[in-house]
A and B are shown apart, each in its own frame.
Chain A
Amino acid sequence: MASRLGRGTLGRFVMVRLAATVVLLLALSFVVFALLYLAPGDPARNLLGPRNPSPELLAAIRAEYHLDDPFVTQYVRWIGDVVRGDLGTSIRSEIAVTSLLADRVVLTAELAIMAFVITLVVAVPLGVRAAWRAGSVFDRTVSLASIVGVGAPSYAVGLLLLYLLGVRFQLFPVYGIGDGGLDQLWHLVLPAVTLAIGIGALVFKLTRTAVLGELEQDYVAFARARGLSEGAVRRLVLRNALIPVVTSGGLVFAFLFGGTILVEVTFALPGIGGLLAGSVTFKDIPVVQAITLLTATVIALTALAVDIVTYTIDPRVRARGLR
């Protein structure tokens, strides 16, 4: 089918988009590397942390990190290491950054996925229903709630939930991550719900706008006028509304990762976000660089996935191909 539409196949589409993603990530990695020089003062001193350095130690650090080389040379060496999986050593804990991340990435992923699932299961159906009954009491109530939710910061919501459900009514554990397995998931419920409130409000708004936009289209009136059942009309609308909802999926993902930082700090969870917050205050630059790059990669890959899904579900994009 795609071949008759001409100009591109899925394979070629993926290759070109992948190349664009790599270019974006390279550009970002350059900026990330430059972070080392963003902090005021001598990078060598910053790399040593708050210890009082002797001149010999400083010289050793300069040699170890090749700080006297030209900037570009340093960057090339650094990105080479990154590609090989060597992200340097944490200043604070003096552990390899990769193993530091490995310990925490699972928790963050669990938190993010849990929040994402809660969002999908709750916000999307609510958005569809609100659009279908635009102007009803249901629509106005949920829309109002979403306006409050979209602006409510997770750290404030988190603390309120923690106080109400953790301290006051003691329904959920207050801090910590439990003993692994199901218990860990149980400890993650409150953080995930906190995270899902902001994201869910956003997804609700996006879904409602998308479905409402489709409902106003002529093809819906035409379908009804020729006697399609309400169920068939609904399928028609949802299939069309899927496209803008998926397209904004990338945005939602970026939002999600920004949110995990605050939620992990609020609930004192040992994830990537909490590590980043701590590392920034400590000026643990290798860790900050690694986490920034990791987040950028995840978001870029999500955007790539969104592009591919859009390509497969929107025949117009398929026909336009790669421009």
Chain B
Amino acid sequence: MRMSIFKQELKFHRNSFIIWAVVMVLFVFVYLGSYEAIAMDEQMMKVYEKLPEAMKKAYYMDQVNMADIHGYFVSTFMYLIILMGIYTAISTATVFAKEEDRRTAEFLYTRPVTRTNIFAQKILSNLTGLILMHLMVLGAIFLTLTGIITADYEPAVFVYVVMSTFFVSAAIGAVGWLISTFLTGERLASSFGIGLVLGSYMCHILSGLAEELEPFQYFSLMYYTDLPFIVQNSALPWEKTAIMLLIFVVSGGLAHFRFQSKDIHV
């Protein structure tokens, strides 16, 4: 299989990848790097304790200790999950839609390659970007831990947190591909993807507000990353990860089927 489309897709996404990577790496440096300053600050800890229960729940403070490096890390890492989700949603939900929107589909889909081949190369470029992004975040985490943090830490927790985020991102990505095969407007597709991620975050917040709203957690990305579980058990939440993998396979399969059979209108 010649990888022309894969290589070209990587080139197309290079600039946006760099911008997002800088944002995420800086996020890790700033938030994780300020752990000791915050953890040592008793006033700050008291502020955390006085937060409303719903807010504590939203930031896992009901399950983890903010004075502990791992607890502090996962409560701030939620924002990175959202950032990663938005990056994933934008890059995957537009991957096919933009070709029709910019009317380049007529060029690309008349090359001597099968639709399956085009699909494979495009999603492979998305996945490559996603893997690299997570590796960069992981690198930034360990750089901060070794260079700035003096407290003891369990490396596996940080690896599992990033792995769990990756599986959730992969599921978002597969849903993004499916969206991309239905929508032909690039802006609409990316807005739809971002809306799903932010909607999922809202579900996370809502689920902590009242007991009867708890079912909303099942629509939340945070439920499936289950960061408190990772901190408490130093292991991946396998059941939830399996659900993410299932969503990845089913959505990816449906996206392929749809892409394979659809008419390309240009």
The answer to whether A and B belong to the same complex is: no
